[in-house]
A = this chain, B = another copy of it.
C-alpha cells in the first residue's frame, strides 16, 4: 500500500505521462515499515527524490546528454526497483567495516562514493582526482597546516604567568576544520539500545556525524557525495544552487559565496533565479538559467539550446582551474596531484612556494596546462560574453594575482624582520609560525585579505574586495606590521643596551 502511494507520487513529479513508475524493492519496503515513523523527515526527503521514483533501468534509457547515470550497466538485482534504503545501505556490505546485523540485513550506516559509484562511476572517479576528496589528508598530513589547526583549535590556558597550549581533542576538530574537510569515521564498537522494537545493537562510530568533502570512510573510500547532494533528497537543484557551496565557502579564508552575492552573477541569480529550471539535464544556458551559479562554471554539463556543449560535466573541478588562489601563502599554478601533502618547496617545507613566493614548480601544472584550463573556463564565459569582454576580465584577474602576491611578499619580509630581530619566535627557533599576535596578523594578509581580493577579482564581486576584508585590510596590515615593528624594535634596542 505504502509502495503504491509512493509510486503515484513519483509518477506525478518526474515521469512523462504514460511512463510506468518503478516500484521500491521488498527490502526497502521492509525498512520503511519502521523507519517511516522513526525519522519521518528523512523518509519524506527520500520519497521526494528521483531515487524514489526512477529505477536504474529507466535512467539508463535516457539519451546521452540527459543521462544522470554514467554506468554502462547496473547489476541485475538493482536494475528494476527504485533506489531505496536497502539498495544503498546494504550495498558492498563486505567492504564496510561499519556493517551490522539489523533485522536480518547486513546494514552499513554510511553510504560512500564507493557505493554511489555503482551507478555513477564517472563522477566518483573524477571526484577521486578532485583536490576536495583529499581534504582530510591535505590538512592532517601537512605538518605546517596541522600546526595551524592546533594554534586555532587548541585550548590556551594560564599556568601561573605562562600561557600554555593544549592540543584540541577530536571532538573539537570535528566541530571545526574537519566539519568541512571531513573526519575519519571508524567503528569503535557496538552499543545496545532500548528501542520501540526491543533491545537492538548499533555501531558506535568515531567522527560521526560528518559529511565533509574528504571524509575517510569505513570502506576505505574518501569523500561524501552527500556533502553537496544532500541526504536523502539528493537534489541536483540543491547542488546547483550556491547555498550548497556556501556551507564551506563563506568564511574569510575562502569567501566565494560572499563575493558571488555582490557580483552581477549573484545579483541575477538572487533577482531572477526563482524562475529558473535547476533540474534540467543538460543545463541549457539562457533557457534554464541566465547567470551562472558556482556549479555552472565549476561542475555542471552546460549546453546551448542548439545542442552544443559549452562545458562537460566534471566532478574534478580543477579541470577548469589554472590558478590556486586561496589557502596558501601565495597564489600559484594549480597543483598536479589532488594529494598536496606530498609537495615540498626548496626549503623542504610542505608548501607550493617558498616563503618568498618561489614556486615548487615540479609539483605544479605548467604554463601550457594552465592555458588549457583557462580556455576551458573561458568557454563558459563566452556563452554570454564577447571575447574582448572575457579577455579584459582575465587580464585584470592575472594582474590581481600578481599584485596580491606582491603585497603578501611585503608582509612576509616584515615578518622575517621580526623573526630575525628576535621580536617573534619563528622557523629558526623551530617555533610555530601561527602562535603569536604578529604572526597572526601576517597570516591574515594571505589567508584572508589577499585571497579575498583574488576571489573578488575572479568572480567580479569587486565591492567585496575593496573594503570588506579586501584591499583596505591588505594595505592596512602592512602599515600595522610596520607600526608594531617600529614600536617593538625600539624597545628591543633599549633592552639590548642594558
Which A residues have a C-beta under 8 Å from some C-beta of B?
36-45, 47-48, 109, 151-158, 161, 163, 168-169, 171-172, 174-177, 179-180, 193, 202-205, 208-209, 211, 230, 233, 235, 237-238, 241, 243-244, 246-253, 261-264, 266-268, 270-272, 274, 285-287, 290, 304-306, 308, 382-389, 392-393, 395-397, 399-400, 403, 406-407, 409-410, 413-414, 417, 435-438, 440, 447-448, 456-457, 460-468, 471-472, 475-476, 478-480, 482-483, 487-488, 490-491, 495
Contacts and interface: CB of A to CB of B under 8 A. Distances in A.
A202 B471 contact: no
B479 A436 contact: yes
A169 B399 contact: yes
Given A171-B395, A237-B272, 6 more contacts: A41-B383, A172-B396, A174-B396, A251-B463, A251-B464, A437-B479
19 contacts: A37-B306, A39-B383, A40-B384, A41-B384, A153-B471, A156-B407, A156-B478, A158-B410, A174-B396, A175-B465, A179-B462, A202-B388, A204-B388, A208-B389, A238-B271, A243-B261, A244-B267, A250-B464, A274-B274
B209 A389 contact: yes
Contact of A37 (B48, B308, B384, B440): B308
A44 to B, nearest CB: 3
Contacts of A468: 250-252
A241 B264 contact: no
A205 B304 contact: no
Given A382-B39, A471-B153, A246 B230 contact: no
Contacts of A151: 475
B462 A384 contact: no
A243, A308, A386: which has the most chain B beta carbons within 10 Å? A243
A304 B391 CA distance: 48
Contacts of A267: 230, 238, 243-244, 246-247
A392 B209 contact: yes
Given A247-B463, A250-B464, A209 B393 contact: yes
A466 B286 contact: no
By secondary structure, the A interface counts as helix
Q: How many copies of this chain does the complex contain? A: 3
A50 to B, nearest CB: 14
B490 A487 contact: no
A154 B39 contact: no
A175 B329 CA distance: 21
A470 to B, nearest CB: 8
A382 B106 CA distance: 23
Nearest to A448: B467
Contacts of A406: 155, 157
Nearest to A148: B472
A158 B462 contact: no
B437 A163 contact: no
Contact of A243 (B271, B437, B460): B271
A479 B435 contact: yes
Closest 5 CB pairs of A and B: A44-B286, A41-B384, A179-B462, A437-B483, A251-B467
Nearest to A160: B413
A180 B389 contact: no
Contacts of A252: 467-468
Contacts of A152: 466, 471-472, 475
A36 B447 CA distance: 42
A262 to B, nearest CB: 5
Contacts of A250: 261-262, 463-464, 468
B48 A172 contact: no
Given A403-B155, A462-B175, A437 B238 contact: no
Given A154-B475, A157-B410, A385-B39, A233 B490 contact: no
A18 B48 CA distance: 32
A51 B473 CA distance: 43
Contact of A480 (B168, B247, B437, B460): B437
Contacts of A193: 387
Contact of A248 (B248, B447, B463, B490): B463
